[in-house]
Chains A and B, each alone.
Chain A
Amino acid sequence: AQSVSQHNHHVILSEAASLELGCNYSYGGTVNLFWYVQYPGQHLQLLLKYFSGDPLVKGIKGFEAEFIKSKFSFNLRKPSVQWSDTAEYFCAVGNSGGYQKVTFGIGTKLQVIP
């Protein structure tokens, strides 16, 4: 069974600070990795994903994530956060195969202070 662990449940940053949210996963096979974001009052939406190839993936709004296979990690980063990045961030893992059963972490609430 696949599982996801997110290390930081609530993060408070000032604008322009750098962000790194930790994510570790466990799964015995080939995985697809995702970060989803939920802005206040909105639905979950995809921020970025990794399927194969370059382990450093770039997503929307200046976010990026690095897949480190040896560490089973897929940490999310942004060099300089903005107030509009205030949201909840979910790391997720999908099994690479016939269909995507996606398992989510418990989420990290990010609050950016102006």
Chain B
Amino acid sequence: DTGVSQDPRHKITKRGQNVTFRCDPISEHNRLYWYRQTLGQGPEFLTYFQNEAQLEKSRLLSDRFSAERPKGSFSTLEIQRTEQGDSAMYLCASSLSGRANTGELFFGEGSRLTVL
């Protein structure tokens, strides 16, 4: 499968622990997005990368959240000192840019976080 892959698919952790999620976008896509989805809500934008540069961060992304895309390929999203309110599905999406950009976001299946 050459789509967007996310790991792990499920993570259960205790409050106060740190967690890290990984996203591998479609290989030729230079844009990468992180979204968060809670029950009964649509995906909420967290942050966006063009290659390795993080170009926008939502106010939802508190200081406990950090995202990286060190070589412009895979990305990680780390949550430090997790809180119960962090429980959600974390979605990664990728897309092309420039003239090849059709506007379509290609989503992974998400990483579900449960904070006890």
- Chain A residues close to B by CB (< 8 Å): 4, 9, 32, 34, 36, 42-46, 49, 51, 90, 92, 94, 99-107
Shortest beta-carbon distance from B67 to chain A in Å: 15
Of the A-B pairs whose beta carbons lie under 8 Å apart in the complex, a sample of 17, sorted by A's number, is A34-B103, A42-B109, A43-B110, A44-B107, A46-B104, A49-B102, A49-B104, A90-B43, A92-B42, A99-B31, A100-B103, A101-B45, A102-B33, A104-B35, A104-B43, A106-B40, A106-B41
User: Residue on B with the closest CB to A96?
Assistant: B103
Chain A residues whose C-beta falls within 8 Å of the C-beta of B43 in the assembled complex: 44, 90, 104
Q: How far is the CA of A105 from the CA of B42 in the complex (A)?
A: 5
Give the distance in Å from the alpha carbon of A9 to the alpha carbon of B4 in the complex.
28
Min Cβ gap A32→B in Å is 5
Residue among A34, A103, A104, A106 with max Cβ neighbours from chain B (10 Å)? A104
Interface size class of B (residues with CB under 8 A): 20 to 34
Task: Return the CB mask of B28-42 against A: 1 if under 8 Å, else 0.
Answer: 000101010000111
B109 near A90: Cβ-Cβ < 8 Å: no
Closest to B108 in A: A43
Chain B residues within 8 Å of A4, by CB: 42
Query: A107–B97 Cα gap in the complex (Å)?
Result: 26
A104 to B95, CA, bound (A): 16
Q: Once the chains bind, are B103 and A101 in contact (CB under 8 Å)?
A: no
B103 touches A104 (CB 8 A): no
Closest to A9 in B: B40
Q: Indicate whether B101 reaches chain A with its CB closer than 8 angstroms.
A: yes
